[in-house]
A and B are shown apart, each in its own frame.
Chain A
Amino acid sequence: MSPLVLVFISPLIGAIVLALVGHRPNGRDINVIFSFFTFLASVFLTARIVAHGSVFALDRQFFIDSLNVFLVTLTALIGFTTSIFSRPYMRIEEERGKMTPNRMRLYFSMYQLFSFCMLLALTTNNMGILWVAMEAATLTTVLLVSVYRTPASLEAAWKYFILCGVGIAQALFGTILLYMAAQKVVGHGQNPLLWTNLNAVKFHLNPVIMSLAFVFLLVGYGTKVGLAPLHNWLPDAHAEGPTPISAVLSGLLLNVALYAVIRCKVLTDGALGNHFAGHLMIGFGLLSVLVGAFSLLRQRDIKRMFSYSSIEHMGLMTFAFGMGGPIANFAGLLHMTVHALTKSAIFYAVGHAAQKAGSQIMDQIRGLIKISPTVGWGLMMGTLAILGMPPFGVFASEFLILTSAMRQLPWATPILLLGLGVAFAAIFSRVQPMVFGETSVKRLPHPPALLPVFIHLGLALMLGLYIPTYLNTWFLQAAKIIGG
């Protein structure tokens, strides 16, 4: 059986099995096992792509190239580590009465379905299926955001559903326009929605239709990326849902939505032959960096704060891809990888820290390092990493983005620096007293899962110091696909 099929089968079977037995105590172990299989399958898939180059599967409906294969691996890896983190985390939540066995079953089953949707969105070659998978990803997570059934979580989930639903409806209209433009040029007997077919004829797509289509697609998928001013759902959904869900939303969903935007940008660039798409992305990106950074200053809830940091970083990536060119694209891809790793590591540490303090309000979390040095250091290292301190990988990618901005768009550099500076001041001044100082936190009934935190931070550190050759080749190839 091909590894691609396994990548899909594993989370699907996992979802069914966990829908039946997820309420039992060993549900959390089953969740880890299925996530591990998915990860294993994705590693095999990657090995095959590295050896043989890009492949089609199932009547060209699926297409794997260097651009999506590294995202598949990243998604499966973070899906796996987050399932390890959920084991003790959700157990503690259950013992504190926030989760019931039935809710656990819903949680695990939807967790696997969410993985499935993400992987489907990444590997499909069909722009229509891409849309379906993105919408399905919202549907699987919306009940998880409201799983605690508190008024705040219901409100967050409602906002998430309605705003993302409306956003994604715009993307559907964009897809219809794309299809309309494609029908005229893609030959008979060929499916005009397949990305590879579109890519082959992109220079002949009608520019008027494509420019309007891209606006709708960017607004639609951009809502899910969390681009300002369409970001309102993001902090609420991150803050009110269970922390593992915040980690996968920030680490995976935002990346996959950005991936969808990038695929559309490649087609639009070809059709228009100018930088219209890039300029739009630069505008949205810069605005998100600023809105994200300045909103950080006003936060009291720790998960809200780090979700605004995600908005800022997604803005930075969108900006990088908007600039285009080999170096900026390379930097954007690297930033996608290290941000996903670092931000999910932070959410793991934050989750345990909030459980120890019994609150997500930052003023009530104090002196983590005294009671549990590992959580404290995990949070501190993660914060330093996300703020772009060397030698972590975020430093490398931000440095590359800034230098290419200086060369290509000098006027944007001060704006980016302002955003990064404000973010640094805001986050560091909040995290420092939480980690050091007099303690206010208690021990946890079960040992926290900190292995994922340090695996992620270790990988982010490695990417800052040294990028392995095969990864480098991948990024370069992917950067070439994006072009611009």
Chain B
Amino acid sequence: MTTLSIQLVNLFAAFLLLLAFAMLAQRRVLTLVNLYALQGLTVVAATTVVAHMTHQEHLYYSAILTLLLKVILIPWVLHRLIKRLNVRWDIETLINIPSTMLVGIVLVVFAFNLALPISKLSTSVVPGTLGIALACILLSFMMMITRSKALPQVIGFLAMENALFFAATSATYGMPMVVELGIALDVLVGVFILGVFLFQISEQFESLDIRNLENLKEE
């Protein structure tokens, strides 16, 4: 029973890592949003399994919160944004996907090594997942660096938040409820502000290419 649960959490963790790589290589904005929603769903599934396994009641609540926020509400907002901004069929020209993936693999190895001494000390039932969570954080970070459009950068940012949530769940069985609520509120407000922002940017520059946003430099 417990072994099955542990296996399941590990499976979900592996799936998260796979999704992080998929997002790194995905050029279409629309698919990116769907991948983000899928990532949220995986996190929800992992959280539910951990909650069932450890009988931590508050984890069920945070799973429900995540489901509402990151699987339903935020992807819906992002879809609407895409529609309103008319970037539905946008395809980004990414430079050199294979080498990006290779750097990604190096990042994963680095993250696993960094997390190894800590996972050993962890009292959690699924200690190995901390490395995967850290790897996902770094991959999302890399995604933000390599993108030149505003919306994919935002999605990278949100994916990083998902990975952080997964880290909290797997390493510590979730933060206290009041903190989780605070973080969820911050994320929600952040998404709305970003939406407002994207409109302002596209009005001002008539495109969402953040290469327009590179004028502030030292003379």
**Chain A: residues with CB nearer than 8 A to chain B?**
126, 128-129, 131-132, 135-136, 139, 142-143, 146, 149-152, 154-159, 161-162, 165-166, 169, 172-173, 175-177, 179-180, 183-184, 191, 193, 206, 208-209, 212, 236, 239-240, 295, 298-300
Contact = CB atoms under 8 A, between A and B. Distances in A.
A150 B157 CA distance: 24
A157 B189 CA distance: 16
A169 B168 contact: no
Given A151-B205, A179-B175, A208-B117, A298 B193 contact: no
A176 B172 contact: yes
A143 B175 CA distance: 29
Contacts of A150: 204
Interface in B7-64: none
12 contacts: A135-B186, A139-B189, A154-B213, A155-B212, A158-B201, A159-B213, A162-B144, A176-B167, A177-B171, A191-B176, A239-B216, A299-B218
Contact of B144 (A155, A166, A179): A166
Given A165-B190, A179-B175, A206 B121 contact: yes
B210 A132 contact: no
A128 B122 contact: no
B114 A212 contact: yes
B182 interface: yes
Nearest to B153: A162
Interface of B: 114, 117-118, 121-123, 134, 137, 141, 144, 150, 153, 157, 160-161, 164, 167-168, 171-172, 175-176, 178-179, 182-183, 185-186, 189-190, 193-194, 196-197, 200-201, 204-205, 210, 212-216, 218-219
**Chain A interface helix/strand/loop/mixed:** helix
A128 B182 contact: yes
A173 B153 contact: no
A209 B121 contact: yes
Contacts, number: 127
A150 B144 CA distance: 24
A132 B121 CA distance: 27
Given A143-B196, A166-B144, A183-B172, 13 more contacts: A129-B179, A129-B182, A131-B183, A136-B186, A157-B197, A159-B213, A161-B197, A179-B175, A208-B117, A208-B118, A209-B118, A239-B216, A298-B219
Nearest to A149: B200
Nearest to B130: A180
Contacts of A149: 200, 204
Given A135-B186, A206-B121, A169 B160 contact: yes
Contacts of B153: 162
B175 A128 contact: yes
**Chain B interface helix/strand/loop/mixed:** helix
Contacts of A173: 134, 137, 164, 167
A169 B164 CA distance: 8
B216 A152 contact: yes
A101 B205 CA distance: 24
A162 B155 CA distance: 11
B205 A139 contact: no
A150 B190 CA distance: 21
Contact of A300 (B137, B157, B212, B219): B219
Contacts of A152: 215-216
Contacts of A184: 123
A212 B113 CA distance: 12
Given A139-B193, A143-B196, A166-B160, A154 B201 contact: yes
Contacts of B123: 183-184
Given A126-B179, A132-B183, A159-B216, A212 B164 contact: no
A132 B161 contact: no
B132 to A, nearest CB: 13
A132 B179 contact: yes
A146 B168 contact: no
A155 B215 contact: yes
B119 to A, nearest CB: 10
A4 to B, nearest CB: 17
B192 to A, nearest CB: 9
Contacts of A166: 141, 144, 157, 160
Given A128-B175, A157-B197, A177 B164 contact: no
Contacts of A151: 204-205, 212, 215
B193 A143 contact: yes
Given A166-B157, A176-B167, A300-B219, A128 B178 contact: yes
A340 B175 CA distance: 34
Contacts of A126: 176, 178-179
Nearest to A183: B172
A129 to B, nearest CB: 6
Contacts of B186: 132, 135-136, 139
Given A166-B141, A209-B118, A298 B218 contact: yes
A142 B193 contact: yes
B204 A176 contact: no
B150 A158 contact: yes
